[in-house]
Amino acid sequence: MEKKPRLELDTEEHIPVESIATSSKPSTAVKPKTQSKRSKRRQKHTLPEAGTLEDVIFHEVTELLGKAAVDEAIAAGTEWNAPFEAREEVDLTVTSMSANGEGLAIAPASKRPWVVVTPFSLPGETIRARVYRHGRMYSHADLISVDTPNPELRDMGRVQCQYFGKCAGCQYQMLSYEAQLKLKRDVVVRAYKTYSELPDSAIPPILDTIGSPLQYGYRTKITPHFDAPPKKAQKQGPAPDGEKPDWLKIGFNQIGTRHVMDIEECPIATPVLNETFRPLREKISRDIYTYKKGVSLLLRDSLEIPSDSAVAPPPLPTSDEKHICVTDHRATVRERVGDKLFEYQAGSFFQNNNSVLIPLTAYVRDAIFPPAATATPAPGAPPPTHLVDAYCGAGLFAIALAPHFATVAGIELSADSIRFAARNAALNALPAGRCDFRSGDAANIFGVVGEFPPPRTVAVVDPPRKGCDDNFLRQLVDFGAGTVVYVSCNVHTQARDVGRILRWSEARGEGKGRYMLESLRGFDLFPQTAHVESVAVLRMVY
Ligand SMILES: C[S@@+](CC[C@H](N)C(=O)[O-])C[C@H]1O[C@@H](n2cnc3c(N)ncnc32)[C@H](O)[C@@H]1O
């Protein structure tokens, strides 16, 4: 069969393995007993923290090779010794996908049990790949060619970006949207199987992933970057014609490297971001010799904020709402989610896909107030009246849901975000006193909501990727809110935390109730990428 080098990569330099270690925690598994040459070498390796990408890959690799093969390699001290020469090329058959959207293949039979992780490859495909970096029982590789494509999954005609296959941003443009959503559901299934430590009977059937209304042109924030002129170029100075120098790349990282790729447009970004990026690139090209350091740019899609602040914003979107691009980290950005307006500081956290925020907030609302026919709480149980929004940011969930509650308390580490959350309550004309926002560690909220009636309280929990700490989870379980909705950008740490909540709630004592996991599903906030957001609904049952 003719080989089709569809996705050629320039693979000159990659990130060295040491620089991607995510934890400084020493590995217990590789602690040296003696200072032999080998143990000195092994000492360099660190085990990643649970739920990080490296840890997730190791679990996937263990599943693929079988625990016995992995245990044998650990016992023999060979789990970090890749069976490859530097930059060796191998022919592989991809068997499954990693949570990071890369193809996983067992190394050829001539090698020790080992897995090769190759981006842009799909299950069922035979590929040629070049290994370049090694982890624990696996190696990362660049895709050289897809020799036998999977015709049911791959259609390169779907790809809308000229940089696809090199840029680290997207993994899935060759897939139908349906296939992307299915892969994301599989990630949720596997995360709960691996990280929750719950019996199968405690995990409900994982529902289909809810898609994003926009699948391109949705990303409301991009952060392209560029390096300062190298010394040699500084000396030479600008070209007489003022042309962009060849060495200058303004864009995103090339996959597997820290090299910046020159990117002129990003089709997953909103139109106004691309319209602004073009002239911004030209200006940077002209001024590049004034930069002494590399820069990470910020481009945020915002509604234009009327200069006359006395003009009340219209309650529903109008066709003349103008989108602008904000590039100053400290400037105010405005977004609309249904009939609510949100403002926040451009450099602080806000969800990056506005189009999915109506379905997401509506889903959380419906989970809290289920239609009578599907309600889990005892029929006739009084509806929730109090809301706790932990990790509330600029108040997305608190404010979207506030009309349904008598009292809302939000907490968030960023004082800037809290300032905007309070402002957003006023911007949306919520009754004074309904929402109380405060800055601080999420666990501190339980010192504030002592008067909230637990059975009629809902806790929305939306932590950063590392999930919640045990102090927060203990207090959450002790408080015993009738409903917990846990929204997460890292389903692996979510699965770990949900497992803890369920187990710890068993010890609440006779008649005090325990949590059950009522429903679980992914939301697609980032189409064309492997990322999945996960929403778990937990209910206190007696
Ligand atoms: C994934 S964001 C969610 C924000 C908000 N729920 C939203 O959807 O816009 C997580 C937020 O948690 C905040 N955060 C991180 N660690 C925290 C902590 N220990 N206590 C409270 N907030 C924290 C971050 O500043 C960030 O705004």
Q: Which residue in the block uniquely carries the two structure tokens 């996705």?
A: 7
Q: Give the β-pairing of 533-541 and 483-488.
A: antiparallel
Catalytic residue among 12, 489, 506, 510: 489
Q: Residue 175 and residue 120: Cα distance in Å, rounded? A: 10
Least confident of 15-19, 128-132, 496-500: 15-19
Q: Going edge to edge, which strands form the sheet with 533-541?
A: 207-210, 514-523, 533-541, 483-488, 457-461, 386-390, 407-412, 435-439
Mutate to test the pocket of ligand 1, among 340, 364, 391 (most ligand atoms within 8 A of CB): 391
The pLDDT > 70 percentage for the chain reads 89
Catalytic residue among 79, 335, 518, 533: 533
Residue closest via CA to ligand 1's atom 11 equals 391
Three-state secondary structure string covering 339-367: CEEEEEECCCCCCCEHHHHHHHHHHHHHH
pLDDT at position 30 is 33
Helix (H) or strand (E) holding 76: helix 67-76
State mean pLDDT over 37-54.
73
pLDDT(445) > 60 = yes
pLDDT at position 13 is 44
Mutate to test the pocket of ligand 1, among 348, 349, 352 (most ligand atoms within 8 A of CB): 349
Q: Give the β-pairing of 89-97 and 102-106.
A: antiparallel
Cα 271 to middle of ligand 1, angstroms: 28
Confidence of residue 11 (pLDDT cuts 50, 70, 90): very low
Cα 537 to middle of ligand 1, angstroms: 19
Least confident of 44-58, 180-194, 216-230, 311-325: 311-325
Which amino acid is located at 362 in the chain?
A
pLDDT(321) > 50 = yes
How far, CA to CA in Å, does 104 sit from each of 15, 94, 123, 139? 20, 5, 8, 10
pLDDT(540) > 60 = yes
Residue closest via CA to ligand 1's atom 1 equals 464
State mean pLDDT over 500-523.
96
Least confident of 36-40, 422-426, 433-437: 36-40
Atom of ligand 1 nearest to the CA of 417: 27
Token pair listed for 530: 């492997």
Cα 141 to middle of ligand 1, angstroms: 34
Atom of ligand 1 nearest to the CA of 348: 27
pLDDT at position 144 is 97
Confidence of residue 382 (pLDDT cuts 50, 70, 90): confident
pLDDT at position 237 is 77
Average pLDDT over the chain reads 90
| ipTM here | 0.99
User: Is 287 buried (19+), middle (13-18) or exposed (0-12) by CB count in 10 A?
Assistant: exposed
Q: Is 194-215+354-541 the same fold as 17-154?
A: no
Which protein residues are within 6 Å of ligand 1, measured from CB?
A: 349-351, 391-393, 396-397, 411-414, 417, 441-442, 462-464, 489
Query: Global pTM?
Result: 0.91
Least confident of 45-54, 77-86, 207-216: 45-54
Alpha helices in 206-326 (DSSP H): 231-236, 271-287
State mean pLDDT over 149-168.
98
Cα 113 to middle of ligand 1, angstroms: 41
Confidence of residue 488 (pLDDT cuts 50, 70, 90): very high
Closest alpha carbon to 539 in 443, 447, 454, 450? 454
User: Does the annotation mark 533 as catalytic?
Assistant: yes
pLDDT at position 375 is 55
State mean pLDDT over 382-391.
96
Residue closest via CA to ligand 1's atom 16 equals 413
Least confident of 109-123, 191-205, 374-388: 374-388
pLDDT(180) > 50 = yes
State mean pLDDT over 245-269.
95
State mean pLDDT over 443-465.
97
Cα 471 to middle of ligand 1, angstroms: 16
Atom of ligand 1 nearest to the CA of 460: 6
Q: Residue 464 and residue 189: Cα distance in Å, rounded? A: 20
Confidence of residue 510 (pLDDT cuts 50, 70, 90): confident
Alpha helices in 197-303 (DSSP H): 231-236, 271-287
pLDDT at position 23 is 29
Confidence of residue 312 (pLDDT cuts 50, 70, 90): low
Confidence of residue 503 (pLDDT cuts 50, 70, 90): very high
State mean pLDDT over 402-430.
97
Closest alpha carbon to 493 in 162, 56, 182? 56
Cα 221 to middle of ligand 1, angstroms: 17
pLDDT at position 33 is 38
pLDDT(478) > 70 = yes
For the chain, what are the domain ranges?
Answer: 17-154, 194-215+354-541, 221-326
Which residues, 6 or more positions from 40, have their beta carbon under 8 angstroms from its beta carbon? Answer: 32
Token pair listed for 154: 């791959």
Q: What class has domain 194-215+354-541?
A: alpha beta
Atom of ligand 1 nearest to the CA of 441: 20
Atom of ligand 1 nearest to the CA of 488: 1
Confidence of residue 378 (pLDDT cuts 50, 70, 90): low
Residue closest via CA to ligand 1's atom 26 equals 393
Q: Give the β-pairing of 126-134 and 457-461.
A: unpaired
Cα 238 to middle of ligand 1, angstroms: 44
Q: What class has domain 17-154?
A: mainly beta
User: Does the annotation mark 489 as catalytic?
Assistant: yes
Mutate to test the pocket of ligand 1, among 350, 361, 413, 418 (most ligand atoms within 8 A of CB): 413
Which residues, 6 or more positions from 411, have their beta carbon under 8 angstroms from its beta carbon? Answer: 388, 389, 390, 391, 392, 437, 438, 439, 440, 441, 442, 444, 445, 448
Residue closest via CA to ligand 1's atom 8 equals 396
Cα 486 to middle of ligand 1, angstroms: 12
